[in-house]
Structure 1
Amino acid sequence: MLGLSVPASALAFLVLVTPICFWVAYTDLKYMKIFNVAVIALIAVFAVAGPFLLPLDVYAWRWINLVVVLAIGVLLNATAGVGMGDVKFAAAAAPFFSTATSHVQLMVLLLAGSLLGAFAAHRALRAVPAVRRMAPDWVSWQRKDFPFGLALIATLWGYLAIVALTTG
């Protein structure tokens, strides 16, 4: 580890994941798909940068987050119709989160708020004809389901930003 503080590590991860988050937001809105290459890119960021930004024991244990979230996600895909792209993205994002109780609580609050905010914003914006004309080919405007990747991205990005802004 480079000796970075928890906020500095979160900031570094935030900078590295931001382009992927923008890309996923665009593809989820336009195609209602989160492409595997984006999921692989997110995993690659953690795999390559993680050993430099986290203590090695923390880095190693966080891979369990990916496995657990993927297993839960596959179950939700089979039973509740959660999209597999969303499942894979959530699993790829999972190692970036600490499993400390306060961090899990923060993540749950962020996910709930992000889901409500992203859903409301998407539905409101798609109701505005001028907005729809700016992106008339976006699949998410036509479908009844919702691009859940927006909430997942907001949760990941918001979590890293909050942790980066904490002082300890």
Structure 2
Amino acid sequence: MWFLPFVLPICLYVAFTDMARMKITNPAVIALALVFVVVGFFLMPFTDYLWRLAALVIVLVVGIVLNAAGAFGAGDAKFAAAAAPFIALGDLRLLMALFAATLLAAAVAHKGVKYTPLRRLAPHWTSWEQGKKFPMGLALGPALAIYLILGALYGR
């Protein structure tokens, strides 16, 4: 719950910038990581805090490898790494299901708006002209935000 007010604006910013410019910016990723580093230090037992920071490093290394293989963008990998400490290991299955649903909804919404008059609200967004490339931040940001909202509402 304590992370939510800091993380929610970053998640919304990531979704917006990825649609508008097909970029998840480094300042957004750094801000997300700093929220965990600073707020988490005061909220979590120290060993849990260190394990969550280790998750950041592990996800970053895996993300770099997947980016090098062309599986997804560097910004997506960095955002996933910065988001990893916020996820409890026991919630990993929930997060995967939540991300799958969010990704599906984001893809349908993005493609749906792309071919409707709503596109005129943001005619210069780079994501409209990317062919098969998709602004993954449109799913990554909301997935983390929804996860934290569910944790605030139903967590222990």
For the superposition of Structure 1 and Structure 2, which TM-score range results when normalised by the shorter chain?
over 0.9
Runs of 4+ residues deviating >2 angstroms:
none
Q: Is the 8 A contact 2:20 2:127 kept in 1?
A: yes
Matches within 5 A, 1:1-168: 11-100=1-90, 103-129=91-117, 131-144=118-131, 145-168=133-156
CA RMSD of aligned residues (A): 1.1
Give the Å deviation of 1:81: 3.4
Give, in whole Å, the separation in 2 of the partners of 1:94 and 1:167.
17
Distance 2:120 2:92 in 1: 40
**Secondary structure of 1:80 counterpart:** coil
* TM-score of the pair, normalised by structure 2: 0.95
Partner Cα distance (1:157, 1:47) in 2: 18
Counterpart contact for 2:60–2:78, Cα < 8 Å: yes
CA distance in 2, matches of 1:93, 1:143: 25
* Shift, 1:147, TM fit: 0.3
- In structure 2, C-alpha distance between the alignment counterparts of 1:166 and 1:57, rounded to whole Å: 24
- Paired residues in the alignment total 155
Secondary structure of the corresponding residue to residue 49 of structure 2: helix
